[in-house]
Amino acid sequence: MSKIIKTMAVGQYGGHSIKNNKSVDITLKFAYSELPNYIKLIQLLNENIDISVKKQDEKSQMLGQFMLKEIRVDHDGEGIVKFNSMIDFVEADNINSLVGNDLFKVRFTAEIEDVGEGE
């Protein structure tokens, strides 16, 4: 049985790159106050995660479908979360629009297989 996991956090852009092999990496940063929200992403390891962002006074933008690559928590509680995808599954123009120091809401959605105790 599968279930949909959704979580939201307020973060900011930390950089992105598009490589020659069409691999896309994006980094998002989260403040200590968002720790309870972004740490939930651990349960989405090896899952396809739909990521959308909403800047203040703008419509929500879909960034694409990514896989969790790395979660790092600094000594001060700041979270640095890296995602990876292929260019076919991302909206590169929407990612480019994130560049800057603005905070925005990030929504993560994934469908995971619910593993019961009897399985």
Cβ contact 77:83 at 8 Å? no
DSSP secondary structure string for all residues of 39-87: GGGGGGTTS-EEEEEE-TTS--EEEEEEEEEEEEE-TTS-EEEEEEEEG
Domain ranges of the chain: 2-112
Q: Name the CATH superfamily housing domain 2-112.
A: Efflux pump adaptor protein, beta barrel domain (2.40.30.170)
Name the token pair of 75. 């000594």
What pLDDT, on a 0 to 100 scale, did the predictor assign at position 116?
64
Q: What is the pLDDT of residues 48-64, one digit of tens each?
A: 999 999 998 899 999 99
Q: What is the pLDDT of residues 32-48, one digit of tens each?
A: 999 999 999 999 999 99
Q: What single-letter DSSP state applies at residue 90?
A: B
How many other β-carbons are positioned within 10 Å of the β-carbon of residue 31? 16
Residue-wise pLDDT tens for the chain (119 aa)?
Answer: 789 999 999 999 999 999 999 999 999 999 999 999 999 999 999 999 999 999 988 999 999 999 999 999 999 989 999 999 999 999 999 999 999 889 999 999 999 887 765 55
What pLDDT, on a 0 to 100 scale, did the predictor assign at position 117?
57
What pLDDT, on a 0 to 100 scale, did the predictor assign at position 61?
95
